[in-house]
Chain A
């Protein structure tokens, strides 16, 4: 009954006398209250599902980088464990384990219906323990402390290290130190890190450049060989150029390699010695420490600093440790590049098709059939587009391009395998129905009178479209394109077939001619989630990272969607009232 009154408020034309509630005697069954509650319950359940889903993703994503307290747990058998408590759950201990417990412990569990609580600790020190995480049951614990001097060090290899600092070695000279806040530690850490950066710069850019040049010369020889034959003069010349230049390049290479070696030797002399909770010592090179902080001795600013620096690393660095640590810059870059290229391909074609269907084609049975088909294509599974992309774009088109333009690289495919270009085109095909449908809707919303007015003033058809129809339809078109972007950015399945990889050695854009390498495979946020969550050595270690990536991806897609809505509303406002 109550909703009845509501309806009245919404729609004034459902005229029901206000005095209705005065009726006292009514058959309650006709109001169907219980069934209405079931329907409402469905809506409530839907809302709860969505809210809890988003809350979980965003909570986990946002708190991943918060520096957590390191607890030192003393267990009843005297063993100690140090680690970050990640989550707690109830479980049923195995019968055999249960029998080994003391009567008091057994009692606690029996009282709890056979359930016991346990906590997952991230203990780090994978190189010592051979595990990243350890479950500790609550009934085993006798004491939990949080000592101030315990450190968490993120390393280039082997994941985090948890322990206390014993000493550092600077140029072979041992200095006893137990705080990382010491100036000397910071100085030597900075110096080592800078050397490491310089090393990677040399290896990547300079040595990479030399390798690139040698490869180009070699390919040139092969090209000449294919074109002119082995016995030709041109081939001999190309061969000579290769030999002449390779010598010089190799000399350069050697110099650079020596420099790297020197830097590496210098860095080897700066180390830090840590002691983990079980009193084992671990010596780590200074430059292998990405970040180090006293987890239990951080003030608010320190904690914020660690949090922000981790975020910055995440969005600006390359991945480490099989993608479970470090950053995801290549994946962000790959996603962005792919989505933008997709838009470049999809926008003109989608709009042109919609223009054709709405403005040029004769409206008849055929066009409405085409329209139904286009509508349906929006519902064709994305994986089918992936199969088409692989079979047609990569193998047929790419294969022919390789034959024609890159014969010197065969049998290694250049375009004849998955890559950025093919992935973008595949997604463009996948999203073209979205753009067509949206554009068509926008075009049909432009009043006929405006078109007629323009034509009556003597404008040609194209002028009418260009100056009257398209500007009007722009909000709808923009919405369609943005929605297509959102759909494209979130698709993973077709990309698995046409060029996405778990770790791309090179970005699609670099300093070597022709600078943009559309044939290269790339990384993608969505695939990163799949890969780290399912293919990595330890799904548990990758999970926090996946949550952050997930948050980023959902954030990106929601941002695009909301932009679409805002753009639509803005432009609608702008054209409001400017009708004939």
Chain B
């Protein structure tokens, strides 16, 4: 190094020889310029990259809130011949649309081109269907006729993969892009040698007589349950006389003969008014609930768990006032019912258990959500097979795509200037296309892109009323077992978890860290400081995975066993230290001076150990006094009274109050007593005063606690409740290890950097070191100490491994210190590896990361600003 230096400082020998030409060598200039550019560009790009993190996270989050986008729109004309369209739907790949009219004719067309595709039709034998039902998945259909018969069938869009060579020859020439049709099927390339063929297939069973006297069937719903071998088909019919019937048709196959037998069970629904005008009927898949909606708005809910004896469970008006029910339907999961009214209103109802219900089964329908109304009557609706998205159409020809949980209108689709009267509406399985068929045979198809229909700011940060929940809640429950399960992605429980972990760990860490920092900077010998400080700094680099492991697998079982002793130690140890101090004061002054350094510190350690052991040894006695002998039962609120522990909890505050009051009252007398006696007697007096204050404070706090308890205030149910093994107390302990060194180091630096002359001046004026530390040093360094706390807080907010391992990961919103929590950071670590790229969960987790980023950034910036102010202030002193 030295050689290099010389070279630079002394003129280069080469240069000195050419002294006359003062020109700098080209290589030096080039090197200088290159370095200049490299450093400038490199430096700026690193700074940009670091800020790019925030931008990147934000851009990943934005699509959550953008609703939907219209990608394209096509129109086709079907040969309807004036018949009523019963239903229409689309295939998985958004290539084919199928519609059925009431004569059984099936019309299909290729969405991209509008080319009509030949499809087989249902043969009704010249009849016209008077009622129709289709299952949400599986393509099962049922037709009811005016002669009281009913025919079951299937209408499916069949998809199969065929060899390239099996396709019609002219298709192969059409290139490889997109999907094409030859008028009978749609073909799309899936790989080099394979094609996907999509075509329509129909099946129709024989007619079965449902109404005994041949009354026309007016309304119908149909569900298929059971297994593939033993399907249980159930349907409900309402005939022109207003009589409702539920029918269960079970097919069993004899294993020996292979013969199928169909068993029909039909029962009439009681309690329907005669001649009721029905606008819709609904049945659940398990066939245990049936809803019959009267046109005027009254809905009859039947309990059909017993098929032979159905009962009317509840009668409720779901369209109050002069509004008619125009459309009614289940959302996926068959809990929520969407009701579209003649005034354009769209409301969502579901049933909830209720004590005061007038119903017979203990449930009652509640009006959960009022969605944005259409300007004219709702005429058609279709719901998604994969989520709570649905589409509604109104009499003006407007089609709105909505989401039930987020209550938002995702897209407002309109057919241009026309005002078609829609008869059927369809939402594609992947929620990427909407199809509407009007009475004149016009079919409108919209290509849409709605990536995240379920998320709005309200669903992520606000309370959401999920179906089946008694009230709107903040809920995080992301994993979905079935399509019907709705992921509940509220970040609030996680943000709360982060805050809870931070608050409790700081409550534990701040007193220890700041106390230790003051003591280190003001009271200990510099040799002790030279050992303690670097050790603490070293501790700051302990990997948090290690802390989490120790906390969860070693500490948690120990704390669970010795919980009483550990809780008591929080109170006993400070008492022990006080006691040690008063004993110390009784020592001869000479000894106090001689052993005032390290031996005194050792004395403190001994006091901690002795009183720690005392609280351990007297665990069962204290358990009896405070926790009725059984801590866990006590914490759950099933045993004992809350008063003793409340008293203990209040003791520190009451003690300080009593200390101040005592000081005021007996100030003069005591100080004259102290001045007039020798040190020993003064020490005894001081000890006596402390014991007296403690006794008074103990009595007072017990009295206050008793009053509070009799008023019904109890710590249990709030900060203390049912004990679980991995809880916030453990997290606070473990996080203490991570946070204490940080707060300690920074606070100690701040305290030490208070100019020495302040300390000297204070001492010179006769202040004791204690008075100097508390009245001079601490106020001066306050902003630095505050910054230390903020930095510690930043670390606690973002800490991941400790909370993943020790916190139990339960997303609850309660302050109970003996219950676990789920923090933002832990949630990301646990769920992101499994989240599908660009899914809603993936983006919400990015939002969680962004939230964490913003939270820590604010905390850290505050700390930095305070610290800079502190630096300026100390520099000015």
Contacts and interface: CB of A to CB of B under 8 A. Distances in A.
Contacts of A553: 543, 545-546
A441 interface: no
A42 B36 contact: no
A380 B837 contact: no
B798 A381 contact: yes
Contact of B585 (A28, A44, A561, A565): A28
B42 A352 contact: yes
A1 B32 contact: no
A99 interface: no
A570 interface: no
Interface stretch (B77-85, B439-447, B575-583): B575-583
B853 interface: yes
B11 A496 contact: no
Interface stretch (A12-20, A149-157, A288-296): A12-20
A356 B32 contact: no
B260 interface: no
B543 A491 contact: yes
A44 B512 CA distance: 9
Most chain B CB neighbours (cut-off 10 Å) among A36, A377, A554? A36
Nearest to B512: A42
A57 B550 contact: yes
A305 interface: no
A429 to B, nearest CB: 7
A376 B534 contact: no
Interface in A409-438: 429, 432-433, 436
Most chain A CB neighbours (cut-off 10 Å) among B46, B192, B532, B829? B46
A443 interface: no
A483 B538 CA distance: 11
Nearest to B554: A56
A492 B593 CA distance: 49
B593 A376 contact: no
B516 A380 contact: no
Given A373-B50, A381-B825, A465 B676 contact: no
B603 to A, nearest CB: 9
A468 interface: yes
A41 B550 contact: no
A493 B582 CA distance: 48
A550 B853 contact: no
Contacts, number: 409
B756 interface: yes
A376 B860 contact: yes
A486 B546 CA distance: 14
A374 B600 CA distance: 43
A376 B861 contact: yes
Interface string A345-377: 000111011111101110000000010111111
A380 B857 contact: yes
Interface residues of A, number: 132
Interface in A1-37: 1-7, 9-11, 13-16, 21, 24-37
A454 B9 contact: yes
Contact of A463 (B11, B32, B38, B620): B32
Contact of B543 (A352, A436, A492, A497): A492
A39 B580 CA distance: 13
Contact of A554 (B511, B524, B546, B578): B546
A429 B523 contact: no
A546 B800 contact: no
Contacts of B584: 33, 37
Contact of B674 (A29, A373, A529): A29
Contacts of A144: none
B805 A530 contact: yes
Contact of B800 (A382, A453, A543): A382
B297 interface: no
B679 interface: yes
Contacts of A383: 798, 800, 825, 828-829, 849, 852
Top 5 nearest A-B pairs by Cβ distance? Answer: A2-B596, A381-B798, A356-B43, A42-B515, A32-B770
Interface of B: 1, 4-5, 7-9, 11, 15, 24, 28-29, 31-32, 34-36, 38-40, 42-44, 46-47, 49-51, 53, 56-57, 60, 192, 511-516, 518-520, 522-526, 532, 534-536, 538-539, 541-546, 548-550, 552-554, 561, 573-574, 577-578, 580-582, 584-585, 589, 592-593, 595-597, 600-601, 604-605, 607-608, 620, 671, 674-679, 682-683, 686, 690, 736-737, 740, 744, 756-757, 759-760, 763-764, 768-771, 774, 791, 794-795, 797-801, 804-805, 825, 828-829, 832-833, 837, 845-846, 849, 852-853, 856-857, 859-861, 864-865, 868
25 contacts: A4-B769, A7-B769, A30-B771, A33-B770, A37-B607, A42-B513, A43-B519, A43-B532, A45-B516, A46-B536, A48-B605, A50-B737, A53-B550, A57-B546, A353-B47, A357-B43, A375-B860, A380-B860, A391-B57, A462-B32, A467-B5, A492-B801, A493-B829, A497-B832, A546-B553
